[in-house]
């Protein structure tokens, strides 16, 4: 229906490339690439109706919360998609978390409810579909864990060989276990995520290898559909604020692009303010936002929220566009704030992994600073599932969670297990 191309995002370059040209950054200036499409007029009402009707269809593409919105994806109608039924994640009302933030209502969009337990699946279905279309033989990524788990699963579905490069000893067992079970070749590198990223960029210069880190614009295309799904769940009424964690900043970029395209197509009438929350020890983007100076990477990123322990975020220019266009902000929260917010989200019966809890911690902070008003509509994006990092959870609840600086964190909402003999009397006494 539309003609899609890839285009460099640098304002003074904007070099255009064919949609199926295999490249990750602009070959002229090294800038990031966007997938863009011509000005086809869409009829907002009939699109909304079509997308809704697809929910009751049995077609694989219609069952997917990503491919259901395929009018906005750069593929022909008859493309064979690699899908695990991603997307279609719940939007929860979270009264305890709202109370904790001193907000009248708070909604949590739980992307941890994807097939491999994180939002990465919404991008991976599109990137691996593109990999297969290009005839790639080997798909690779560097990862703090969730991208690896997701790629391994989708590569297995597509019957593509898969290698993932992770920082040795720094990835949670649950995430590593997923990648191993899905049959990926797992390479543990001495160094942190940023050193993995450097290796992989060189590796992907080989033509048979396809790189699916979030620098890959097709990942962003899939992830942007979460904005569509969210807008639909809110009956096309955009919230005042959208708050999400920031690591490599692909997710923030994708939400920005998704909402921008919805606005341009007349499906929504304004943009939410997009606020990105980073862990204080891994916050180069927050520093950039505060100082409005050159972007400086963080040499030694530190946080227990391993999914956002990233010092050199590749997608920051796109994420910056999302934050500045929407009038949002970039803030930091401490390890203690993350740990407590995570436990509060758990008390809502929802739960998430540590990185996701930066959102509720961040909202609480923004309200106390009056940057968010109590009666505004706020949606936080939970990026990963509670079971992704149970080690962290067990330590928090047993009062033994140690922050990277060596300080023991307080278990303000701790709930430790109680050892008791198998005696009815003693158990009764405890209940
Ligand atoms: C990948 C990931 C993030 C960070 O997303 P970016 O796109 O890298 O900013 C946050 N939380 C979880 C659970 C993730 O898996
Ligand atoms: Zn360029």
Structure tokens at 69: 């919105």
Per-residue tokens: 22 = 């295999």
Residues 6 or more apart from 316 whose CB is under 8 A from it? Answer: 249, 284, 285, 288, 295
Which residues have C-beta under 5 Å from ligand 2, the single-atom ion? Answer: 8, 10, 13, 15, 26, 28-29, 31
Residue 250 Cβ contacting ligand 1 at under 6 Å: yes
Q: What is the mean pLDDT of residues 100-113?
A: 97
What is the band of 2 on the pLDDT scale with cuts at 50, 70, 90?
low
351 CB near ligand 1 (under 6 Å): no
Instruction: Give me the mean pLDDT over the 199-203 stretch.
Output: 85
pLDDT digits (tens, 9 = 90+) for 321-345: 999 999 999 999 999 999 999 999 9
Domain ranges of the chain: 1-41, 91-115+217-397
pLDDT at res. 39: 67
Per-residue model confidence (pLDDT) at position 1: 47
Q: Whole-structure pTM over 0.85, yes or no?
A: yes
Mutate which of 122, 245, 311, 314 for ligand 1? The one with the most ligand atoms within 8 Å of its CB, which is 245
pLDDT of residue 37: 86
CATH number of 91-115+217-397: 3.40.50.1100
pLDDT surpasses 90 at 91: yes
CB 232 within 8 A of CB 49: no
Ligand 1: atom nearest CA of 319 is 9
Closest-approaching ligand to the CA atom of 16: 2
Beta bridge partners of residue 33, listed in sequence order: 8
Percent share of the chain, pLDDT over 70: 99
Decide if pLDDT at 27 tops 90. Answer: yes
Q: Give the tens place of pLDDT for each residue, 212-241.
A: 987 899 999 999 999 999 999 999 999 999
By the 10 Å C-beta count (0-12 exposed, 13-18 middle, 19+ buried), 207 is classed as exposed
DSSP secondary structure string for all residues of 245-292: E-SSSHHHHHHHHHHHHHHHTTS-SS-PEEEEEEETTS-HHHHHHHH-
Q: Residue 308 in contact with residue 356, Cβ under 8 Å? A: no
47 vs 201: which has the higher pLDDT: 47
């Amino acid at each position: 229906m539309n003609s899609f191309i890839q285009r460099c995002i640098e304002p003074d370059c904007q070099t255009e490339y064919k949609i199926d040209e295999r490249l990750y950054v602009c070959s002229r200036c090294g800038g990031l690439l966007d997938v863009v499409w011509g000005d086809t007029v869409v009829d907002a009402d009939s699109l909304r109706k079509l997308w809704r009707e697809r929910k009751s269809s049995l077609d694989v593409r219609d069952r997917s919360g990503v491919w259901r919105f395929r009018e906005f994806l750069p593929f022909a109608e008859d493309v064979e998609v690699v899908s695990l039924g991603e997307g279609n994640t719940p939007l929860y009302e979270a009264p305890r978390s709202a109370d904790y933030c001193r907000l009248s209502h708070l909604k949590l969009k739980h992307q941890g409810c994807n097939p491999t337990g994180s939002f990465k699946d919404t991008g991976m279905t599109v990137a691996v579909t593109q990999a297969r279309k290009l005839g790639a033989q080997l798909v690779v990524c560097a990862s703090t864990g969730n991208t690896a788990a997701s790629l391994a699963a989708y590569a297995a579905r597509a019957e593509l060989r898969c290698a993932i490069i992770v920082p040795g000893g720094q990835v949670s067992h649950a995430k590593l276990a997923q990648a191993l079970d899905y049959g990926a070749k797992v390479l543990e590198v001495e160094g942190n995520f940023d050193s993995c990223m450097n290796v992989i960029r060189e590796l992907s210069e080989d033509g048979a290898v396809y790189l699916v880190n979030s620098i890959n614009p097709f990942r962003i295309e899939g992830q942007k559909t979460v904005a569509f799904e969210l807008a639909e769940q809110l009956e096309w009424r955009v919230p005042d604020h959208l708050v999400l964690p920031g690591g490599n900043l692909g997710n923030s970029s994708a939400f920005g692009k998704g909402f921008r395209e919805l606005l341009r197509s007349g499906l929504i009438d304004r943009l939410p303010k997009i606020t990105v929350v980073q862990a204080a020890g891994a916050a180069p983007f927050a520093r950039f936002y505060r100082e409005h100076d050159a972007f400086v990477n963080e040499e030694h990123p530190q946080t227990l929220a391993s999914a956002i322990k990233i010092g050199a975020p590749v997608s920051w220019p796109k994420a910056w566009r999302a934050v500045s266009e929407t009038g949002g902000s970039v803030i930091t929260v401490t390890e203690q704030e993350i740990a407590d917010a995570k436990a509060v989200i758990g008390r809502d019966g929802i739960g998430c992994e540590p990185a996701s809890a930066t959102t509720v911690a961040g909202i609480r902070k923004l309200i106390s600073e009056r940057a968010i008003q109590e009666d505004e509509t706020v949606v936080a994006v939970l990026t990963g599932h509670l079971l992704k990092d149970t080690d962290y959870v067990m330590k928090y609840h047993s009062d033994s969670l140690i922050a990277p600086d060596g300080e023991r964190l307080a278990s303000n909402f701790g709930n430790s297990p109680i050892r008791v003999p198998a005696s009815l009397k003693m158990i009764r006494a405890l209940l």
